[in-house]
DNA sequence: GAGGTTTTGTAAAGACCTTAATAAACTTCC
DNA sequence: GGAAGTTTATTAAGGTCTTTACAAAACCTC
C-alpha cells in the first residue's frame, strides 16, 4: 500500500523517463534503436525522444555512432546504450581467509576483479588488506573512489542493517570491534552497506533463477549459513535471518568455544571429516583408510560405492534435513540451493538430502547445488549494490 | 520492479483519485471535510474536488449533510465519507465444528455476524450449513449476493491458491472431494478465494500490530498450524507455508492414521491432556488427580503451583520451542503470537516457551498471545477480502 | 448588521503527452 | 547515377490534467 503523495505533471515525466531507462537497461549491454524503445515502453516517439534527451544529459545513457551494422534501408537510427561508467559499483567480500573486490558498471560489465588472501585473520591485518584490494580494484577499473555509486561489503557474522555494525563474527578475531562501515564511509561519498555473506550469496543464487518464488540458499563450508530470498528480495527479519548454523540438531553435539553454532559443529566441513576419520578407524575395509581425508575425499568415496563413506554422507544428509525441515515447512520454499565448499563435493550429498527432506516435509522443495563458482558472495554483493543504485534512480 | 506502461495524463488522474480514496478510507468511518483531504493528500483543491466528484459518481464515497456538528465559523464544509455499501465483503470460517460468516463494509463496520455449529463433520452436511449461514448473514445485512464485492473462505487443510481446491484436510471427511471454490463461485459474481485458516488467523493478528515486520502466528488447538506475515503480506511459499503441525519433534511420537502431523500428535490439545493424565496417575499428590482434565485445567494447576502440572507444561513448551526454533532462526521474526484453544489457557505456557526459545535462538522474538477472541480466523478472512477489494480499486 | 473567517467555486496559465503531418537520410532498384 | 521506397527524426497542433490565482458564498462573532 504505497502512500503516493502530491502527484503533478512533473511526476509523470519522471515516471516515463524511468520507464525508458528500464527498457534501456533490459537491453544492456547492446545499444537500442529509439524506435525499439517506443515499442518496448509503449510510449510515443516524442515522449521517448524527450526522455532519452534528458537521460543523455544526466549521463545515464550515451549515444552510439550511427555508422554501425545491420542497416536495411531507411534513415539511420539513433542508438543509445546504458552508460555504465555513470554509476559503477563496488562489491567486497571479506572472508576469514581471503578478501575479494569487484567493480561492475551499470550494465553489469565487470570492470575489475581482485582477490587476495589474508595470512593472519587478525582484524587489523584484514583491514589493511581490504584497503589494498580496494585500491587495486579502483586502479584496474581506472576509477576514483569518488566515482563509485554504491558499495556493498560481505562479511561473516551478524550485521545490524541499520548502522552496519558487525554484531557477531567469531571467525575473525576482533572483527566486531572494528567499525568497518565507518572505515569505508570515510573513503567513499556514496552509501556503504555491510551485509552478511550468506545473505548476499543467496541474492546471487536468486539472480540465477528467473521469476518470483521463495529460495533458501545455504552456504556450507567450515561454517553454515543461509539466506532467504522471497520474490527477489532478501528477507532479513529482525536482522539475523538465515542463521541455520545455530539450529540444534537432535543428538549430542561436541562443545567448542569458538562461537560456532551447534549445527556447524555437527555437520560443518570439519565435523564431516572428523566423522569420516572415526568411521575409517572403526572399519578398516573402507577406502577412506588410504590417503588424507577431506570432505572431497569422503564424497568421492561415497560416490564410488564405499559403504562406510556412504554411511557418513547419509548421516550428514539426515542431520541437515532434520535441521532445516521445520524451516522448510514454515517457509515452503520453491528451492533449497546449497553452495560453499561442501557443495562442490558433488551430487551424492544432494540425493541423500532430497530423500530425507521428502520424508520430513509436505511439499519437498527442489534441492540443488549452486552453479556459481567461488565468487558467489562477491556476485551477490555487486548485485545488491546495483539494485541499490537502481532503486535510487529518480534522485 | 513494476513494469509501468503507456503513461499519459489519465493515469495521473487515476493515481490521484486513488490517493484521495485512500485518504477517505483512513478517516473512515468519520466523514471528512474536503479541505482536510487537501492537507492529507498533499494535492490541490481543484484536484481533490475533481477526484471526489468522480468518486461520488462511481459510488465509492457519499456526501454528508452539512447540517452537522462542530462549526467554528466560515462557509459550511462539504463533507464526504466512505460509502461502505459500495463494496461489502463476505468472510467465511469453515471449521470442523462450527461455521461462521461475517459481512463487513468498506469502512470496516460489521454488518452481519452469524455462527452455527455442525453436528457431523461430513462434507455434505457442512456444505448445507455453509449455505444456510451465508443466507442468514446476507439477510442480516440486508444485502443480495450480487452486491458482495469479495468473498474469502477459511478452511482447514492445504489450499491451492490458484484453483482454490482443497488438497489436504484430514479433519473433515470428504472435504477434499468437495470443490468449495466452484460451489461458491456460482453463488457470487465476485472473486471467491479459499485460504488456509491458520494463514488468515495470521493476517488478523498482523492487523493488530502496526508497522512492518515479520510475524509467525500460531494457531494451537487440537491441531497446530501457523501463518507467516511479512510486512503485512501473507507468505504462501509454494502453497503450504506455515504447516508447523508436520514438524517432527525430537523423541517418540505416537502413530495415528488420522492425518495429523507429528507435532500435533505430540503437543496438540489432546496430547497435552493425555500427558497430564499419565502424570497424574504416576503422581497422586498432584491436584490434577481431582476433577476432569482438559488443557485449561492443566494450565490452571501449573499456574497455581502444582509441580506435576508445571512439569507437563514445561515439557510441552520445550517441545514446541525445539520444533519451531529452526524456523525462528531462519525467519528471525519480530514476534511469535499464539492463538487458538491452547493459548486461551493463560500465560504459564507463554513464559516457558519464551524461556526455551531464548535458549535455542540468537535473536529471540517476542512471544505473545493473540488478543483476538474466537473470531480470529473470521476477522482474517474479512481482512483479506477487504484488502482484495482495495487492491483492485482502479478497475 | 458589519467585519472576519473559512471554505467553495471558477477561470486562466502552465506542463505534459498524443496525434498527425512533414522533413531527412539511407538503401535498393532501374 | 537518379528515382522510388523505406525507416526514422522533427515539428506543430490539440487535448487533458494540474496548478495558480482570484472571486464568491456562507457562517459566526462582535
The CATH architecture that domain B86-203+376-391 belongs to is 2-Layer Sandwich (3.30)
- The pLDDT of residue A171: 67
- The pLDDT of residue B374: 80
- The pLDDT of residue B371: 76
- The pLDDT of residue B4: 42
Task: With beta carbons under 8 A apart, name residues in chain A contacting B6.
Answer: 41-43
User: What is the sign of the dihedral through the CA atoms of A257, A258, A262 and A266?
Assistant: negative
Nearest CA in chain A to B391: A1
Residue A213 CA: distances (Å) to CA of A195, A230, A336, A365, B83:
22, 6, 11, 11, 37
**CATH assignment, A210-369:** 3.30.420.40
Beta bridge partners of B366: B335
Closest protein residue to C16 (Cα–C1'):
A9
| Residue A271 φ then ψ, to 5° | -65, -35
Tell me if domain A86-203+376-391 and domain A210-369 are identical in fold: yes
Question: What residues of chain A score a pLDDT lower than 70?
Answer: 1-6, 66-72, 120-121, 170-173, 177, 393-395
- The pLDDT of residue B217: 96
Contact B243 A330 (CB under 8 A): yes
Q: How far is B16 from chain A (nearest CA, A)?
A: 7
Question: What residues of chain B score a pLDDT lower than 70?
Answer: 1-6, 66-73, 120-121, 170-173, 177, 393-395
- The pLDDT of residue A3: 39
- The pLDDT of residue B157: 86
* pLDDT tens per residue across span B135-162: 999 999 999 999 999 999 999 888 888 7
- The pLDDT of residue B67: 57
List the grid coordinates of A333. Answer: 520454499
Contacts of B212 (CB under 8 A, 6+ apart): B231, B232
Task: With beta carbons under 8 A apart, name residues in chain A contacting B17.
Answer: none
* pLDDT tens per residue across span A192-209: 999 999 999 999 999 998
Interface list for A 134-173 with B (CB within 8 A):
158, 168
Alpha helices per DSSP H over A209-268: 262-267
- Give dist(CA B246, CA B242) in Å, integer: 10
- The pLDDT of residue B341: 86
Measure B45 CA to D22 C1' (Å): 14
Contact B19 A12 (CB under 8 A): no
- The pLDDT of residue B171: 67
- The pLDDT of residue A373: 74
* pLDDT tens per residue across span B341-366: 888 777 889 999 999 999 999 999 99
Q: Is A88 helix (H, G, I), strand (E, B) or coil?
A: coil
- pTM, whole model, 2 decimals? 0.89
List the grid coordinates of B340. Answer: 487458538
Q: Is A110 helix (H, G, I), strand (E, B) or coil?
A: strand
* Ranges of each domain in chain B: 9-82, 86-203+376-391, 210-369
What CATH class has B9-82? mainly alpha
Amino acid at each position: 500500500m504505497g502512500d503516493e503523495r502530491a502527484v503533478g505533471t512533473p511526476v509523470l515525466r519522471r515516471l516515463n523517463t524511468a520507464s525508458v531507462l528500464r527498457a534501456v537497461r533490459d537491453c544492456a549491454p547492446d545499444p537500442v534503436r529509439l524506435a525499439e524503445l517506443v515499442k518496448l515502453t509503449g510510449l510515443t516517439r516524442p515522449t521517448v525522444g524527450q526522455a532519452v534527451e534528458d537521460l543523455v544529459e544526466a549521463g545515464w545513457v550515451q549515444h552510439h555512432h550511427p555508422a554501425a551494422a545491420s542497416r536495411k534501408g531507411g534513415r539511420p537510427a539513433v542508438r543509445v546504450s546504458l552508460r555504465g561508467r555513470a554509476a559503477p559499483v563496488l562489491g567486497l567480500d571479506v572472508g576469514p581467509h581471503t578478501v575479494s573486490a569487484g567493480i561492475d558498471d551499470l550494465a553489469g560489465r565487470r570492470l575489475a576483479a581482485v582477490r587476495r588472501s589474508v595470512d593472519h585473520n587478525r582484524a587489523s591485518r584484514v583491514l589493511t588488506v581490504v584497503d589494498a584490494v580496494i585500491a587495486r580494484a579502483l586502479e584496474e577499473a581506472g576509477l576514483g573512489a569518488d566515482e563509485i555509486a554504491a558499495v556493498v561489503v560481505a562479511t561473516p557474522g551478524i550485521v545490524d542493517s541499520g548502522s552496519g555494525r558487525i554484531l557477531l563474527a567469531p571467525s575473525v578475531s576482533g572483527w566486531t570491534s572494528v567499525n568497518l562501515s565507518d572505515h569505508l564511509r570515510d573513503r567513499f561519498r556514496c552509501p556503504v552497506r555491510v551485509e552478511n555473506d550468506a545473505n548476499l550469496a543467496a541474492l546471487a543464487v536468486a539472480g540465477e533463477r528467473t521469476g518470483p518464488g521463495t529460495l533458501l540458499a545455504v552456504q556450507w563450508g567450515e561454517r553454515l549459513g543461509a539466506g532467504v530470498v522471497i520474490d527477489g528480495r532478501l528477507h532479513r527479519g529482525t536482522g539475523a535471518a538465515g542463521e541455520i548454523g545455530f539450529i540444534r540438531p537432535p543428538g549430542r553435539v561436541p562443545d567448542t568455544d569458538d562461537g560456532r553454532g551447534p549445527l556447524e559443529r555437527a555437520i560443518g566441513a570439519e565435523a564431516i571429516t572428523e566423522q569420516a576419520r572415526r568411521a575409517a578407524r572403526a572399519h578398516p575395509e573402507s577406502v577412506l583408510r588410504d590417503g588424507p581425508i577431506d570432505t572431497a575425499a569422503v564424497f568421492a568415496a561415497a560416490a564410488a560405492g564405499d559403504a562406510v563413506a556412504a554411511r557418513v554422507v547419509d548421516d550428514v544428509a539426515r542431520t541437515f534435513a532434520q535441521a532445516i525441515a521445520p524451516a522448510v515447512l514454515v517457509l515452503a520454499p520453491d528451492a533449497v540451493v546449497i553452495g560453499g565448499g561442501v557443495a562442490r563435493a558433488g551430487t551424492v550429498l544432494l540425493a541423500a538430502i532430497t530423500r530425507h527432506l521428502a520424508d520430513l516435509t509436505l511439499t519437498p522443495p527442489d534441492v540443488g547445488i549452486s552453479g556459481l563458482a567461488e565468487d558467489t558472495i562477491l556476485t551477490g554483493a555487486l548485485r545488491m549494490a546495483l539494485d541499490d543504485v537502481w532503486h535510487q534512480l529518480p534522485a
